[in-house]
Amino acid sequence: MNKKVLTLGLMLMAGMGATAQVSLVNPVPQEVTAQAAIFEAPAQWTINADKKHLTGYIYDALMTASPEAAKKADFKVTLGVRGEGKVSKYKKNIPAKSEGYFMKVTDKEVVIAGNDEKGLYYGVQTLLGMMNEGKLEACTITDWPDVPFRGTVEGFYGTPWSHEARKSQLEFYGRNKMNVYIYGPKDDPWHRDKWREPYPEVEASRIAELVNVAKANGVNFYWAIHPGVDIKWNDQDRDYLMAKLEVMYQLGVRSFAVFFDDIWGEGAKADKQAALLNYIDDNFVQVKKDVAPLILCPTEYNKSWANDEKGYLRTLGKELNKGIEVMWTGNSVVACIDKPTMEWINERIERKGYIWLNFPVNDFVRDHILMGPAYGNGLDIATDVSGFVSNPMEYAETSKISLYGIADYCWNMEAYDYQSNWEKSLKDILPSNHEALRTFALYNKDLGPNGHGFRREEGDELKDIVKAALEGDQYAVAMLNVKCNELEIACDILLNEKNNPQLIHEIRPWVLQGKNIAAYGRAVSLMSMFAPMKENNASTSTLINFENLYQQARSLQKQMFDLENNSAMRHPYQIGTKVATKVMLPTLNKLFAQATEKYNEIHGTELNTTAEYNPYKLTSTVAQLALLPIKLNGDVIEITPSNEVINWQAGGELVLETETSITFQGLDFNFGVNNVAQHFRFEILVNGAWKEIALMHYRDTDPVIHTGNELGGQTATKLRITNKSGVEQQVYFKNFRLIRR
């Protein structure tokens, strides 16, 4: 059946004044034949299934539905897997595809026949989705996933998800037919820095529980180990790794990954990595018999970092056992995936690439929270990928908005409609106030300028209003004011929302900033209205006049900056709080400047037209550092870390400039490499001249770089760090902290 039949059918149902119940299902099924008959779900039903399906995770999922199971009821639910007697007469209807199922719904019965156990489970999930509003729809469904492995990789830098958040995620994956969760948080020491050591008892018991929760939701729990930072290519380290895998196996883990990303040096050798992975595959995966295919995250995990001359990827392709999966992020670290992307990588690794999509992860733009849809990936790559996992944000609940779309995309690419999916996701995450969530999310889609150059659409619905407002159309200015009022209403509703407290906790700093922007927008709109008037008091109120509105707008600019830099209001790794930065806020800033210029022209005043308040500016000739945000925490000025290897070219420099002179109390930074201070020069600008300050490590084994005592008490307006070595330096940018007096 042409998949367009599904879309057309659902549109017809909507036109008849009824919600097609299949339209509630996520992901969108492959083939649906609807009969335009919607009826109330039964209060009771009889379960007709072989004994083995009357217990276990499939039965447990079915029992979450509202109808009660009864020995004799007018409505019957028949469950079975291909080859079982209960569904034998439907064997020709069952798609011969892994995780596929056939489903028939009438006003008397539901039949779910899976091609395998997982297919039966997904059929049950479709039934549950259809019944979300207490109704059913007469139809038949033939369904299967496009991508074999679909899910997430918890691979971000920052605060790892809590135990409860992970359990909630696994339940969410089950409902939305995602079958993979890869546990690989960068800040878990036993995954990375302490990879040789077993987990402490408490941590181990939590992982064992997560494995069980994953099984109960049809999810493969992959545990990833990251040994590349300090691995020695010898038998001892190989045995350490094998022992760690065995410990995790005893905890119940049956799926494993080995990460070699974001490293350099000895651990980045392709032949050594391939030999290690093959050894694990031969002596662990194949021996155990019940372990899923091994996954490798390579060091060259995107095209922009790949060096064809050295042949890293081709070595992996040639030498790795064919059953081992190889992860890939695309043409760059953060990129959408298309057909040419897959053709390029698949030819080199001699297998289908396993996609690691770095969206909606925000660990490189921590001042933004990403609440937009998942889009931009090719709809024609289903046969080119072996797996597709998304790297989410540290904000687990908020990430579900985009993950809802990833689930849909991976299941049925051809039918994927990201806009309609996004609308459905908001209702799924916060059904009680999804319109308020939608209004707020409209201004939290884009990432802002970033080192990866990855941007998202935001503010498209404002473009006509914005253009007219900036051309002086007062009706458009009034409409912009309405949009600001809508944003404020949404923010206030969300701040009092009780039905999803975890979501509100995660987005709260940005919601508060949204209120500031809404108030700023109202002030600027009135400024734009009053600026051309010759009388200063342009209203009957003694308070509402242009100069008071100007002061209010300036105050709100400062309040926005203060909120960004209020450590008590931020999450631990958050470095700012930016909202509506692509269209709304830049437009308001332009209107502020226009109105102020107009007022100055008419009244002969010299009010400052600068709209954005930021006393600190960072510039760098090192491309990977140029767009890093700055945060202020009391008297501590910090540059947000970068998560990748920094290729700091010879002569490359980083400059931090301040609006007014600051007096230094101390400064230290961490490039993640021992004894690297000798390759860099640190200077401050004092009275127009650059003055060099000594750099040092306190210990040979400590990568933190400190300045000489002569820095304390110095007053300057700029500082800069330069690679003076004459050759490129490969470093990290883990920390930069300046303390002022």
In sequence order, the 6+-apart residues with CB closer than 8 A to the CB of 501 are: none
Is residue 41 within 8 Å of residue 73, measured between CB atoms?
A: no
Strand partners, 638: 631, 737
Is residue 123 within 8 Å of residue 87, measured between CB atoms?
A: no
Pairwise CA distance, residues 707 & 694, whole Å = 6
- Residue at 276: amino acid letter: L
Pairwise CA distance, residues 367 & 448, whole Å = 9
* Percent helix, strand and coil across the chain, each to the nearest 5: 40, 20, 40
Active site residue 262: yes
Pairwise CA distance, residues 549 & 709, whole Å = 48
User: Two tokens at 434?
Assistant: 């999804």
Going from the C-alpha of 662 to that of each of 290, 454, 575, 636, 681, the distances in angstroms are: 62, 34, 21, 11, 20
Alpha helices in 281-381 (DSSP H): 286-288, 312-319, 339-349
Residue that has been written with the tokens 């209004």 in this structure: 439
Pairwise CA distance, residues 708 & 721, whole Å = 14
User: Two tokens at 457?
Assistant: 């659409």
User: Two tokens at 146?
Assistant: 């496009």
H, E, C per residue of 96-146:
CCCCCEEEEECCCEEEEEECCHHHHHHHHHHHHHHHHHCEEEEEEEEECCC
Among 262, 367, 384, 446, the active-site one is 262
How far does CA 8 lie from the centroid of its chain? 32
Residue 352, SS3 per DSSP: coil
DSSP code for 54: G
Pairwise CA distance, residues 738 & 655, whole Å = 13
Is residue 320 within 8 Å of residue 284, measured between CB atoms?
A: no
Is residue 534 within 8 Å of residue 599, measured between CB atoms?
A: no
Total Cβ atoms within 10 A of residue 232: 12
In sequence order, the 6+-apart residues with CB closer than 8 A to the CB of 735 are: 638, 641, 668, 669, 670, 704
Residues tagged active-site: 262
